[in-house]
Every structure is written in C-alpha cells, then in structure tokens.
Structure 1
Amino acid sequence: MFNLTAQQLEKNKAVHTANEIYQQPAVWKEVVTNFYQQKDVCQEFIESIYAKHENVRVIFTGAGTSAFAGDTLVPELRRQNQENVQFESIPTTDIVSNPTQYLFKNSPTVLVSFARSGNSPESVAAVELGEEIIDDFYQVVVTCNKDGQLAKNTMDDQNSITLLTPEKAHDQGFAMTSSFTSMILTAYALFTANAITGSESTQLIANAEHLVDSVGAVVDEVLNIDIERIVYLGSGLLAQLSHEAALKMLELSAGKVVAVHESSLGFRHGPKSILNENSVVVLFISKDPHTRKYDMDILRELASDDSGIKIVALTEKSDEEVENLADWSLPVNQSKESLSSDFSLALLYVIFAQTLALKKSIQLGITPDNPSPDGRVNRVVKGVTIYDYVK
C-alpha cells in the first residue's frame, strides 16, 4: 500500500491513516449505494423545504476539515444555479463566536453540519444558535458517527434529517481523509440539481482505484527532495480544496513542514514571498477551459523561476505542455470520457495530498495516526468554552 509494507505501517503507527486513504474508492461506492436506497426520503425532505419558502439559505458548516468540505462543495452547487436556493459555507467557529453576523431571524435556513464525530462543541452550539435565532430552521447532519451528539439531537425532529456515511469512513486516524471525501460526496448527492448517474460514479471510482495504487511512486519521487515548505494552488473550488490539502501536510508533519494555500491568481499578491529553494508547489489544474488559462499562466511563471523550487502539477488528462513545465505531472483520469466537473477532480486530487502528507510524516519520524502525542491538538477538539448567547 503506497509502496509501504504492513510491517512498515505498523512500525510507524500509520496503519489507520494509510488504510483510510486507500479505502476511499470502496467507501465512495458504498456512499452512492446507500444514498440511492434512501434517495426518495432525502429528496422529499429537501424539496418540501424549498416548496414552503420563496428563498432558502443552505449553510454548510463544520470546523477545520469539516468546514473545508463545505468550502469545496459550495462553488459547484452555486454553478448549478438552483434559483431560490442560496448555498453558503460558514465555519461553526465563526457562527458560534459571531452568530448575529451569519444567522438571520427571517431567513429560512437549512444548516448542514459536517461532522466526523458529531461531538465537537462548536458544532453542537451552532445548531443550538440556529434553533434559537432563526424562525424557520432546518437541519441536515452529515456524519460518520451515529452515536454522536449531532445525530442524537435530530431524532424525532421533523425538521431535521441525518445522513450517515459508511462505518469505514469514521476515520480512526488523527487526520480526516475518507471521512472528508465521503461527507462531500453524500452532501453533493443530496443537493445537486444533476443526479449522479451510474456511469459517472463508476468512472470516478475506477479512476480513484487506479490512483490509490499508482500515486505512491510519484510521491516517493517528490520526497527525494528536502521539503521545508509546500504551497497548494488552484482556482475556484480547487482553490478551496487547496486549504484542505495544506492542512493535511501541516497536521501529519506536526507543523514541521510549512504548508500554505492560495488561489492561482492570488498567489502573486504577496503569498509568493514564501518560496525558497526547499519549496514545492502543487498546482491543481482546472478542467474548465477559461479557468485553466490562469492555472497555466502561474505554472509557466513558476517554471521560469530559478530559485530551485519544484512543481507538481495535477491534471485531468496527460498534457504535453504541463509535462514540460512541471517537475512532476500527474493525470488522474485514465478513462476515455472526460470527468463532469472540477468537483470530480477535487475528489481525486486530494488523494495525492493525503498520500504525500502520510509519507512525509513517516519520513520525518512522526506517527501519522497520532502526530501530536503530547495532546497539543486532538482528534476531537478540546478546551473550547461555549458561552451563553444573550440577545
């Protein structure tokens, strides 16, 4: 698995994290199957809300990786333009500390909580604030834990629904990997205006199966250089994905690798200052013809830089110019048909980022399943005080 033996994974305490990255194609298959078994109930719940109100806010929320799930998903749902539905992504950490900036009494709202454990104090508090402030308040909980507080709170609530990801997606490792992608895919299936066809999901899963078996070779080549800093770039929803990609490296390297994210166009406006001779830039290239032009421009600019930086470019299909400009080029679609959108690319691209973070963690002598044994950061956040909201 990722060119690591079972003994190496055990020795380096990386078994959970490696398995949870590798299992994603199988988990996605289960997500699609499970959703279609309850599709009618789910869609009836959502469509009944839309029918009651002239306009509806759908707020995706969570903290950390769970927040980035919403960030990555919202641009695609907005692109589909569902008229009276306004899709937003707002972290629970913002809602809890500043509720009146984000929750409005007279705005019918569906709060979609992404949660691996469902026990994070901010997640529970965000729901309580929504119930207190908003007149027409509805909940969708997308969680990996049927026994979490969020799931329990929706029981017998006609204005709420809980969607459980497959049990395997309840990651036991510190970093969220299969939980991240399975939650995104579950929420997409619920809210998309374009039903996920069998052929589309089959194509996505087949490419993911190929990727988890092949990505280790590229990652090993990248890790032959001394990486002190890594920058993830992309445009649109791929810029949002870059936030999650950077976090995976920061978490699993225990902060020893400086990891940042930015949009392809935004990188020139100051953040490019971070680059030095021990930097790697990973570029998530869009499949959209217009957006791709801007990704290619920053790739050409970086390739002409003589500071010694290295570039990894992820693309949908093999591209001769990309291969000539980047130090490593990784096409993720091995099928003849094109993928439907950058959303599909995001699910594949993040597998590279997860695997790179896993293997860098091992290279640094850190234990990926628990990269912070001193308890500085925790799998389920600790040390949060929730204060009463006073109107």
Structure 2
Amino acid sequence: MKETENIDQFLDQLRALGRVRVIFTGAGTSAYVGDTLLTYLKNKVDENHFSLESIPTTDIVSNPYDSYKKDVPTLLVSFARSGNSPESIAAVELGKQLVNQFYQLNITCAETGKLAQQTKGNHSFLLLMPPKSNDQGFAMTGSFTCMMLSTLLIFDRHSVEQKQAFVEQMIEMGNHVIKNEDKIQNIINRDFNRIVYLGSGSLAGLTREAQLKVLELTAGQYVTNFDSSLGFRHGPKSFVNEHTAVFVFTSNDEYTRKYDLDILEEIKRDGITDVIVSISVDQETNYSGECFAFSDGKDLDDIYLAFPYIMFAQTVSIMASLKVGNTPDTPSATGTVNRVVKGVTIHDYQG
C-alpha cells in the first residue's frame, strides 16, 4: 500500500495545478499500452483535473511541435520494457525543453535502464515493475500486460476491493487460455498465412498489439492486419482471402457486442475463408461459428478482458512462429530487427 500512497501523493501534486494534460507514450508495443487503455480511462478519470491522450514517442520525437504545448501543464506517462530506447529518453528531454510545467511518471521493467536512472526530482515518479516482467526474449508479453495493469489500477476509480475481484477473474480466464492451448494449436495447424485482428473500443486498441506479435515472431512470414469491427468494411476487408484467419475480440458490452457479432457473421457469409474465430465471453448472444469462449468474466469491462484476450493472441504468435520454423526468442534471422531498437539518430531540436 505504501507505493499506492506515494503515487496518490504525486497525483495530488498535479491536481493542485488545475487541469493537467496526461500523455501515455512509448514505442511499438509500449505505445499500444496507452492505445488500449485510453478509451476506457478517458471516461474514468476526473476530467476537471486530467485530460488523457496517447501519443507514441516516435511521433513526439519526430514532431515535438505538434505534440507538446508550452503553457499546458503536462504529465508524460512513459511505458518502457528496457527504458533504453533512444526515443524514450528523447521524448522526456524534449518535454523538459518545450513545456513550462513538465512532469514524468515512468513505468518500466528495468531498474538499470536509462529511463529509470534519469527519474529524479519531485517532478518525476518511477514505478518499477517486478523483475519477472522484464521479458528477456524478443517480443514483449509480460512487460506489456504488467505495465498496462499497473496503469489501469492507478487511474481506474473503482475501489481496491473491486479491482481485486477484477484481477481474480482475469487470472481464472488466463488459466483457461493455458489449459486450452490445444484448441489454439488446432487453429494454427490450419492452412493460412495471413491474420487479421478486429475489435471495438479498448479492444480495437488491443488489435494493434495482437497483430504485431504475429508479425514479429514470424519475421513477416505471416502477413497481418488490424482494424475496428465497424471500420474493417471500409476498404480493409479487401485483406481477406482464402488463406486468412480472422480473429475478433468480442466485447462484453451489450450494445458494442452487436457490431462485433455483425462483422463475424458477415465474413462468415462471404465464404472467402473458413478460419473465423470469436474470442469471447459466453453470453446470451454469441457468434454462430467458431468461438474461443470463456465462461468467466461476464460482468468485466472490456479493458479487463484485454488481458486474457491478449494471452490468446500471444499464444497464437508463439505457435505461428514455431510453425514457420522460427525460434520465438530470436525470430529475426537477419538481425535487422532487435529486442531494443538500434540505429536511431536523435537530432537536436532548436524550436
């Protein structure tokens, strides 16, 4: 509880400023933490004090004049597995340079990383994830979920008891994924080399991370795409051919779920591919085709479903990697893509 009290004190310091702009940031998977959380948390924070956005460090560094506002108090919430990506450090330095009242909340998995080491002073707060969260393999998995869960627990205004109940349900659902890996393997054994993930709201943000895992671990041997369930019709549905697997993260919200089910049924009627799977909590109304279903979690908000859902996607990615003959921890045989990005030149900004 001491860490919770320290974070609350830090946020109280920001509330005293009036209204603070909060930017979730990171690169690649770390950026998708913010993309997934944003839709849900925007409706949960006190908007009299906090205004939430998600901007990748890669956008901040290349276009700082579009990302920062000099006279607007700003909290940069940085997500980083290693904390050594050049853009992570540059985004902070640019914030200090361009914003009069600039604050940092650094959420990272590596105590020795550059981002953690430069977190000093009363304008910054360091939240270290457990050492086991610092994935040593190529792709971020535990790092992603640990950073996302920590941020969710900080900003979600549910009671501690409610949050604990949510997490316990998530654990049960995660165990369900592990116990049913054979069902996922049966899907991967089928004939496809293209994957698309669809979802709505927070789960639309999650689709970006889900497809990236496949792309990374197969080194591009599986072609991937992602979109919102409603947006997919507007051109991107052209991606689907007879060698495509379609996975839909199906919402728990009664209204939103209708749109997820609509696209599932439509693609099924199209008859182009027969690998169409709903990842879903079993509710009164379900997809008529293939489902990877959970019996628990009927009352969870979609943001909490994101954790077991991404476990499904991570398992798909590992199995796909093995299917194409890759080693999941070192999938890039050419070495052109690395665990910590290399080759980035950070240019001085004189604006």
The TM-score with structure 1 as length reference comes to 0.86
Of 74, 81, 94, the residue aligned with 2:38 is 74
TM superposition shift of 1:209: 2.1
Pairing of 1:350-389 with structure 2 (within 5 A):
350-389=310-349
Distance in structure 1 (CA, Å) of the matches to 2:141 and 2:160 = 22
TM superposition shift of 1:188: 1.2
TM superposition shift of 1:54: 2.1
Determine the structure 2 residue equivalent to 1:288. 253
SS at match of 1:200: helix
TM superposition shift of 1:78: 0.8
Conserved? CA contact 1:286–1:295, under 8 Å: yes
Q: 1:81 to 1:158 in 2, by over 3 A?
A: closer
Determine the structure 1 residue equivalent to 2:293. 331
Report how many aligned residue pairs link the two structures: 348
Counterpart amino acid of 1:389? Y
SS at match of 1:154: coil
TM superposition shift of 1:386: 0.2
Distance in structure 2 (CA, Å) of the matches to 1:172 and 1:109 = 32
SS at match of 1:304: helix
Distance in structure 1 (CA, Å) of the matches to 2:171 and 2:337 = 33
Conserved? CA contact 2:195–2:245, under 8 Å: yes
Distance in structure 2 (CA, Å) of the matches to 1:220 and 1:203 = 24
Over the matched positions of the two proteins, sequence identity in percent amounts to 47
- Indicate yes or no: 2:141 matched with 1:146: no
Which is further off, 88-97 or 76-85? 76-85
Distance in structure 2 (CA, Å) of the matches to 1:176 and 1:122 = 17
Q: 1:321 to 1:343 in 2, by over 3 A?
A: closer
Determine the structure 1 residue equivalent to 2:127. 163
Q: Which deviations, in whole Å up to 9, do the C-alpha atoms of 1:235-287 show, x marking residues without a partner?
A: 11111100100000000011000011000011001000011101100000111
User: What are the ranges of 5 or more consecutive residues in structure 2 without an aligned counterpart?
Assistant: none
User: What are the ranges of 5 or more consecutive residues in structure 1 without an aligned counterpart?
Assistant: 1-35
Greater RCO structure (CA 8 Å; 6+ sep): 1
SS at match of 2:42: helix
Distance in structure 1 (CA, Å) of the matches to 2:271 and 2:165 = 45
Counterpart amino acid of 2:234? H
Counterpart amino acid of 1:66? S
SS at match of 1:59: strand
Of 177, 193, 202, the residue aligned with 1:211 is 177
TM superposition shift of 1:320: 6.2
Determine the structure 2 residue equivalent to 1:21. none
Counterpart amino acid of 1:315? S
Counterpart amino acid of 2:191? D
- Indicate yes or no: 2:302 matched with 1:342: yes
Q: 1:339 to 1:163 in 2, by over 3 A?
A: farther
Determine the structure 2 residue equivalent to 1:110. 75
Counterpart amino acid of 2:307? L
Conserved? CA contact 1:275–1:309, under 8 Å: no
Conserved? CA contact 2:77–2:106, under 8 Å: yes
Q: Which deviations, in whole Å up to 9, do the C-alpha atoms of 1:45-104 show, x marking residues without a partner?
A: 1122112x2211110000000000000011110122522211110000000000010100
Determine the structure 1 residue equivalent to 2:91. 126
TM superposition shift of 1:381: 0.1
Conserved? CA contact 2:240–2:273, under 8 Å: no
Counterpart amino acid of 1:329? C
Counterpart amino acid of 1:371? P
Determine the structure 2 residue equivalent to 1:96. 61
TM superposition shift of 1:319: 5.5
Counterpart amino acid of 2:137? G
TM superposition shift of 1:201: 1.8
Distance in structure 1 (CA, Å) of the matches to 2:270 and 2:103 = 51
Distance in structure 2 (CA, Å) of the matches to 1:386 and 1:308 = 45
Which is further off, 123-132 or 303-312? 303-312
Conserved? CA contact 1:280–1:311, under 8 Å: yes
Distance in structure 1 (CA, Å) of the matches to 2:19 and 2:128 = 27
- Indicate yes or no: 2:152 matched with 1:192: no
Distance in structure 1 (CA, Å) of the matches to 2:66 and 2:189 = 47
SS at match of 1:79: coil
Pairing of 1:173-252 with structure 2 (within 5 A):
173-197=137-161, 198-214=164-180, 216-252=181-217
The TM-score with structure 2 as length reference comes to 0.96
